[in-house]
């Protein structure tokens, strides 16, 4: 038995090696390219490791970890945003590899939506916690808050816009088309700028929205136009016969939208929607230009500190790693949810 195994293994290894040789060294040109690449990779790896271990001064990162995570949140209250981030992380773990209990799986969505009020409560304080002004929010906490709130708010808004754009009423259709087309034509930064500078001008004297909420509003206005187009794609791919079938079953307009169109359109649009929220997470970095101290903003303010001046590479590499990590977690979660959704579909 052992003999057989090793024989198969040897054959397999020889097969792999042959394949490798065919892929990498099939002719002179390929061989040269392969050798050049190997040289390049080893040089790059060597340089990078040398820099990472010997040259880089990681004090700029290690001594400022709380700043990156929570911004200027009062230091004796930092357990609050920490609790929030940890609860989100554990919820992701639970979603990814938690047990298959039905009651758990059914309520996961509610738990996810529930993280937002929990986060707001923990950040704002009140009801037993000491209140913290929103200008003290910052770092990764603020980045996640911006992403979560804007994603959640822009979903219903996007659904309404998409339905309006599919509507047979010409005026409703025109209005939503104009809105979507304008929003998709302008750069995000100008919309955010509109949020920070112009929204106060449109409000009556005496009413003020604070900076974080103005940013969330601007992100929502922008992203909902993109989400609307994704959902419209989903709506268009639902065959007309389904609506006819629903009509013949005696469902009214509202019921058709609520029970036939929206669930299917959302399922079809799901990959696009998760991509939008990953994009949104990256785009919250633009608020660093417009004066919010989120993750990138913290990096900028640390670099402005004379103690750490000129240590751009360390800070930017560290920030890139953090963004990359969170994006990867989001992407893994998204793939997981998509997979579960398709399984559900086959159960029908």
Residue 104 has a CB neighbour count (10 Å cut-off) of: 13
How far is it, in rounded angstroms, from Cα 256 to Cα 217? 30
- Closer to another protein by CB, 293 or 296: give it: 296
Contact call for residue 141 and another protein (CB under 8 A): no
Contact call for residue 194 and another protein (CB under 8 A): yes
Q: Which of 285, 293, 298, 302 binds another protein (CB under 8 A)?
A: 285
**Which helix or strand (DSSP H or E) is residue 326 part of?**
helix 312-347
Per rule CB under 8 A, count of chain residues that contact another protein = 51
- Closer to another protein by CB, 147 or 154: give it: 147
Contact call for residue 304 and another protein (CB under 8 A): no
Q: Which of residues 38-77 bind another protein (CB under 8 A)?
A: 38, 41
Least distance in angstroms from the C-beta of 198 to another protein:
6
H helical segments located in 166-294: 170-185, 188-193, 199-202, 211-236, 240-248, 253-255, 262-283
Contact call for residue 190 and another protein (CB under 8 A): yes
Least distance in angstroms from the C-beta of 285 to another protein:
4
Positive or negative, the CA dihedral 119, 124, 129, 130 is: positive
Residue 27 has a CB neighbour count (10 Å cut-off) of: 7
- Closer to another protein by CB, 71 or 132: give it: 71
Residue where the block lists tokens 């992407």? 331
Q: Which has the closest alpha carbon to 145: 213, 86, 79, 195?
A: 213
Q: Which has the closest alpha carbon to 228: 197, 262, 251, 202?
A: 262
Contact call for residue 178 and another protein (CB under 8 A): no
Contact call for residue 93 and another protein (CB under 8 A): no
Binding site for another protein (CB under 8 A): 23-24, 26, 30, 33-34, 37-38, 41, 168-172, 175, 182, 185-190, 193-194, 197-198, 200-205, 282-283, 285-286, 288-289, 296, 303, 310, 312-313, 316, 319-320, 323-324, 327-328, 331
């Amino acid at each position: 038995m052992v003999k057989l195994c090793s024989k198969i293994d040897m054959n397999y290894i020889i097969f792999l090696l042959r394949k490798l040789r065919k892929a990498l060294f099939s002719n002179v040109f390929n061989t040269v390219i392969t050798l050049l690449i190997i040289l390049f990779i080893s040089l790059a790896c060597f340089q990078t490791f040398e820099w990472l271990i010997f040259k880089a001064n990681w004090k700029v990162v290690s001594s400022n970890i709380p700043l990156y995570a929570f911004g200027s949140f009062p230091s004796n209250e930092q357990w609050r945003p920490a609790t929030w981030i940890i609860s989100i992380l554990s919820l992701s773990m639970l979603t990814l590899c938690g047990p298959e209990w039905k009651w758990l799986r059914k309520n996961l969505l509610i738990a996810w939506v529930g993280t937002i009020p929990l986060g707001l409560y923990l950040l704002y304080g009140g009801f037993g916690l000491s209140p913290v002004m929103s200008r003290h929010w910052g770092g990764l906490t603020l980045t996640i808050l911006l992403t979560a709130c804007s994603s959640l708010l822009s979903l219903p808004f996007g659904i309404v816009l998409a339905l309006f754009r599919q509507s047979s009423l010409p005026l409703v259709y025109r209005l939503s088309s104009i809105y979507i087309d304008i929003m998709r034509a302008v750069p995000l930064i100008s919309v955010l700028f509109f949020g920070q500078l112009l929204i106060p001008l449109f409000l009556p004297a005496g009413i003020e929205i604070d900076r974080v909420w103005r940013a969330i509003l601007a992100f929502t206005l922008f992203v909902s136009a993109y989400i609307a187009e994704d959902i419209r794609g989903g709506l268009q791919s639902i065959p007309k016969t389904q609506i006819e079938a629903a009509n013949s079953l005696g469902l009214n307009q509202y019921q058709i939208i609520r029970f036939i169109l929206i669930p299917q359109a959302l399922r079809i649009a799901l990959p696009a929607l998760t991509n939008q929220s990953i994009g949104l997470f990256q785009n919250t970095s633009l608020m660093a230009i417009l004066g919010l101290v989120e993750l990138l903003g913290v990096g900028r303010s640390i670099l402005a500190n004379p103690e750490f001046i000129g240590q751009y590479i360390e800070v930017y590499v560290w920030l890139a790693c953090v963004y990359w990590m969170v994006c990867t977690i989001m992407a893994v979660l998204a793939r997981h949810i998509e997979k579960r959704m398709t399984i559900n579909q086959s159960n029908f």
